[in-house]
Chains A and B, each alone.
Chain A
Amino acid sequence: MSKILVIAEHDGTKLSQATARCVTCAAQVTGAEITVAVFAAEPAAVAAQAAALAGVAHVITITAAHNAHPLAAVLAPQVVKIAAAYTHVFGASTSFGKDLMPRVAALLGVPQISDAMAVEGAYKFKRPTYAGNALVTLEAPADRILVATVRTASFEAATGGGSAPISAVSVDAVVPTHTRFVSISAQATTDRPELTSAAKVVSGGRALASKENFELIFSLAGKIGAAVGASRAAVDAGYASNELQVGQTGKIIAPELYIAVGISGAIQHLTGIKDAKTIVAINKDPEAPIFEVSDFGLVADLFQVLPEMEKALG
């Protein structure tokens, strides 16, 4: 039987939805018994939320002052101590999981499966490579602990209604002092949604032709409450800053609505948006590759389209 340990992700008070998605992935392993581990300074609130997730059999809490902030170097030796009693250790493929899980895997001396997107067997998982252009099915040895991160976009969040018992566990691990938390701040002070998690994104390409013209993209984005993105070409030309870059060499995003304005659709850009639900392309070149992936295409001059669109949106 598979005994799966899921490492909870939280901010001290609230369990991340990413963990609920991770639980769904774990539950798809036949006959899995799922335990959620909460590392925190005060784990009670988060543990209660984890216990309420359907499919969770146990919640364990590891209380320590050094667990107040999620530092991979501090958490990893503790996870390793607990992991011995499990067949699998899962974490979400978020900045938290991507930081922690490889460190855990290396300490255990086992390979890791990153970004599991489908469960094909207890030790067999599918994952995306080349920004989703090649899907790889990997099989891990069944006689060793399997460490994996779970691609959250591929699994729905586990629902509530569970009532797993919560127990405190003490872990006898030496934790390092060489890594220290200093501070955390929300992304730059702006009302704009964050690019990687935004439901809507408006991106501009080289056809904007200047930094000043790029304001048209900000304006439309502001109108519909979207985040702003840019193609690599627009970034290289200095029209937009690098942090807005969408694509394989920038941010890989999966919004509900993606509007590409004046973007021809270089392959590395397309791979960064392929999981977007609805793609709108506006370009004056009818041959632009962006139209091959768009749900709605409009061949027109963006400098006429953008003001018109803003007007039409009232």
Chain B
Amino acid sequence: MRKILVGIKRVVDYNVRVRVKPDGSGVVTDGVKMSVNPFDEIALEEALRLRERGEAAEVIAVSIGPEDAQQQLRTALAMGADRAILIKTDAVLEPLTAAQAFLAVIVKENPDLVLVGKQAIDDDAAQTGPMIAALWDRPQATFASKVEIKGGTAVVTREVDAGLETIEVDLPAVISADLRLNEPRYVKLPDIMKAKKKTLDVIDLATLGVSAEAGLKCVLVEPPKPRAKGIMVKDVAELVDALKKKGLV
């Protein structure tokens, strides 16, 4: 395999308590810590391992987002990606639009494999992977927990509700990473220094002929109803009693 493209999304860090804006127009992102979507880190780790096993020659990190998404691409380069591409847009793209933009990079780079996270932890849509595969007219293997490359095919174990499903897909294909696929490596300081010298190309979304316009209208963003306040019990006996009364144990 020559080339793997990995999708890297810039999202609000998982340690941040997300707050809804009082006017219901969205969530507060100003001054909030941003990170690489954790499931995309797993996708990138898998690509790096495939390269380290000699299954792939080059790993390219691709992000779609604002100028600042370069930070997340630098993190991807520090983890070990060979180069990076940012499709720059200030608009918040729907998954279908993101897939169209990603496809434009696919057409240009002609990869053998596209790896993405199963979902991003901001919109939780879980759409972009399958949508890229559909537009590309290639196989998809979502929720992957194991990937084996065998010549021109990938044998992928998928985490499905009924258990573990194994499918075989011809390459090129799109694979989306689930939690169990691997545990991403930590970035070391020398790698961060090295990453600064790696190539990071910035392409404006408009030059790809993809419209950033949303198909869905966002009517309202609201916080969920808070949980009712609970009670403190004094010891194990009281706790077990309470649970027994509710029929829970």
- Among B16, B140, B222, the one with the most A-chain Cβ atoms within 10 Å of its Cβ is B140
Given contacts A102-B127, A312-B236, contact A176 B139 (CB under 8 A): yes
Chain B residues whose C-beta falls within 8 Å of the C-beta of A239 in the assembled complex: none
Whether A267 touches B17, Cβ cut-off 8 Å, given contacts A136-B218, A179-B169, is: yes
Question: Is the C-beta of B122 less than 8 angstroms from some C-beta in chain A?
Answer: yes
Query: In terms of DSSP, what is the predominant structure of the interface of chain B?
Result: mixed
Chain A residues contacting B249 (CB-CB under 8 Å) are 224, 257, 313
In the complex, the answer to whether A180 meets B168 with C-beta atoms within 8 Å is yes
**Is A110 a contact of B96 with CB atoms below 8 Å?**
yes
Binds A, one of B75-83, B195-203, B237-245: B237-245
Query: Given contacts A134-B27, A249-B121, are A182 and B216 in contact (CB under 8 A)?
Result: no
**From B14, B133, B142, B158, contact of A249 by CB (8 A):** B14
- Are B227's CB and A99's CB within 8 A? no
Determine the distance from Cα of A22 to Cα of B104 in the docked complex, in whole angstroms.
Answer: 35
Q: A143 to nearest B CB, angstroms?
A: 11
Give the number of residues in A that approach B within 8 Å (Cβ atoms): 88
Q: Is the CB of B134 within 8 A of A103?
A: yes
Contact B236 A105 (CB under 8 A): no
- Docked Cα-Cα span, A275 to B143, in Å, equals 23
Residues of chain A with a CB closer than 8 A to B168's CB: 179-180, 182
* In the complex, chain A residues whose CB is within 8 Å of the CB of B44: none
Per-residue B-contact encoding for A133-168, CB less than 8 Å = 1, 0 else: 111111111001000000000000000000000000
Q: Contact at B219–A137, with CB atoms within 8 Å?
A: yes
The A240-272 residues at the B interface (CB cut-off 8 A) are: 242-243, 245, 247-251, 256-257, 266-268
Residues of A within 8 A of B246 (CB): 278
Report whether B162 and A248 are in contact in the complex, using a CB–CB cutoff of 8 Å: no
In the complex, B180 has a CB within 8 A of chain A: yes
Residues of B close to A298: CB separation below 8 A? 232-236, 239
C-alpha gap A186/B163 in the complex (Å): 4
Q: In the bound complex, what is the Cα–Cα distance between A298 and B126 (angstroms)? A: 37
Q: Considering the chains assembled together, what is the distance between the CA atoms of A294 and B229 in angstroms? A: 8
Within 8 A of A (CB), among B214-231: 214-224, 227-228, 230-231
For the complex, count residues of B whose C-beta is within 8 A of A.
82
Any B CB within 8 A of the CB of A48: no
Please state if B15 and A130 are interface contacts (CB–CB under 8 Å): no
Q: Does the CB pair B127–A73 fall under 8 Å?
A: no
Q: How far is the CA of A184 from the CA of B166 in the complex (A)?
A: 6
- Bound complex: CA A61 to CA B156 (Å): 29
- Contact status A186-B162, CB under 8 Å: yes
B161 at the interface (CB under 8 A from A): yes
User: Which chain A residues in 108-131 approach chain B with CB under 8 Å?
Assistant: 109-115, 120, 124, 128-131
* Least distance between B170 CB and chain A CB atoms (Å): 4
Taking a contact as CB atoms closer than 8 A, the residue among A95, A129, A139, A200 that contacts B124 in the complex is A129
Given the complex of chains A and B, what is the CA–CA distance between A102 and B129 in angstroms?
A: 8
Which among B129, B131, B160 is the interface contact of A105 at CB below 8 angstroms? B131
Bound CA–CA A178/B156 (angstroms): 13
Contact B163 A185 (CB under 8 A): yes
Is the Cβ of B232 less than 8 Å from the Cβ of A291?
A: yes
Do residues A182 and B235 form an inter-chain contact, with CB atoms below 8 A? no
Cα distance A135–B173 in the bound complex, in angstroms: 33
Interchain CA distance A136-B129 in the complex, whole Å: 22
- B248 & A138 in contact (Cβ 8 Å cutoff): no
A176 shortest CB reach to chain B, Å: 7
Q: What are 13 A-B residue pairs whose CB atoms fall within 8 Å in the complex?
A: A99-B143, A111-B94, A129-B124, A181-B167, A243-B179, A268-B14, A274-B227, A293-B227, A295-B227, A296-B239, A305-B236, A309-B239, A312-B236
Residues of chain B touching chain A, judged by Cβ–Cβ distance below 8 Å, are 12, 14-18, 20, 26-27, 38-39, 94-96, 99, 121-131, 133-135, 137-143, 155, 158-170, 173, 179-180, 183, 214-224, 227-228, 230-237, 239-240, 242-243, 246, 248-249
Nearest 3 interchain pairs by C-beta = A106-B134, A111-B215, A102-B130
Sample of 11 more A-B contacts, CB < 8 Å, known A180-B169, A184-B162, A257-B248: A102-B128, A105-B127, A112-B96, A128-B224, A129-B123, A130-B122, A133-B17, A134-B221, A135-B224, A185-B163, A279-B227
